[in-house]
A = this chain, B = another copy of it.
Amino acid sequence: MPPYDPSAFPPFAVTVDLVVLTVRRHALCTLVVRRGEAPYKGRWALPGGFVREDEDLGGAAARELVEETGLCAHDPAAPPPVPSNGAHLEQLATYGAPDRDPRMRVVSVAHLALAPDLPAPRAGGDANSARWAPVEELLGEELLAGTVDAPAAVRGADGDASGGAGGEEKEGGPVALAFDHARILADGVERARSKIEYSSLATAFCPPEFTVGELRRVYEAVWGVALDPRNFHRKVTGTPGFLVPAGGTTTRQGGRPAQLFRAGGATLLNPPMLRPEV
């Protein structure tokens, strides 16, 4: 191993990118911001920014999350600074292909955040430069692709980088995310989909007090399947420590009043919730 002579290793810029997921109107959505500069000017991108000189990676992600959404995440690795607001934040993966940013060598440590339904994003005061986009809109069939090859949209984006094609995009059509953010988003969605199987993470999508039906609709939105309400109810209420009754009831979903619950202390779900085939 060479000594740490500054000329002995190449300097990198290190950033954090955020996959912030939430469930809105029965659909899994992610926060995207519109780029104001080249490359990929005018394209949607995941929020993110540079890691500061004296900042931990998780701290940088938590800071970006607050800046973009006002959410205070509950990061178990960094308890002192941030008051928990119920949101979940964890490291996802790191992306560092040499050509992922045409300007320079950037390594991005992507983080995954799960948040309850929020009113509206605010990106530095500019309202219409940030939005909650359904992931299905951003990732067509790419989600089904394995980790073997880069998704087609990313390869295409590389081709016309900073060109005219990415000028202004209309809502409704399929949008291609900037950089390799489609890959990052797909990885984040897959992480969330698999992790709610065996953990209590799905409660991070819910408000502090929620009903069993609301929790079930989270699973249905994230997995894109329909679950049997009766078996689901038995499963989650029968797992000790998973849900604790909050005391009240609500009829905000219509029908018979439903008991309100809070997330219990149990973080692992054993045996896991089974995701139906196809």
Give A residues with C-beta under 8 Å from B: 1-4, 8-14, 36-37, 48-57, 76-77, 79, 91, 93-98, 101, 103-105, 107, 109, 146-148
Contact = CB atoms under 8 A, between A and B. Distances in A.
A47 B4 CA distance: 16
Q: Identify which of A9, A36, A98, A104 gathers the most chain B CB atoms within 10 Å of its CB.
A: A9
Nearest to A15: B9
Contacts of A146: 76
Contacts of A96: 14, 51, 56-57, 109
Main secondary structure of the interface of A (DSSP, over half): loop
Given A94-B91, A94-B109, A109-B94, A10 B53 contact: yes
B12 A98 contact: no
Nearest to A124: B1
Copies of the polypeptide in the assembly:
2
Across the A-B interface, the 7 shortest Cβ-Cβ residue pairs? A11-B11, A57-B96, A9-B50, A10-B53, A94-B94, A12-B14, A4-B103
A37 B147 contact: no
Contacts of A97: 56-57
Contact of A76 (B8, B11, B55, B147): B147
Contact of A3 (B37, B51, B105): B37
Contact of A4 (B48, B55, B104): B104
Contacts of A98: 53-56
A13 B12 contact: yes
A251 B104 CA distance: 57
Contact of A13 (B4, B57, B109): B4
A25 B248 CA distance: 58
Contacts of A107: 12, 14, 51, 57, 107, 109
Contact of A147 (B8, B9, B77, B147): B77
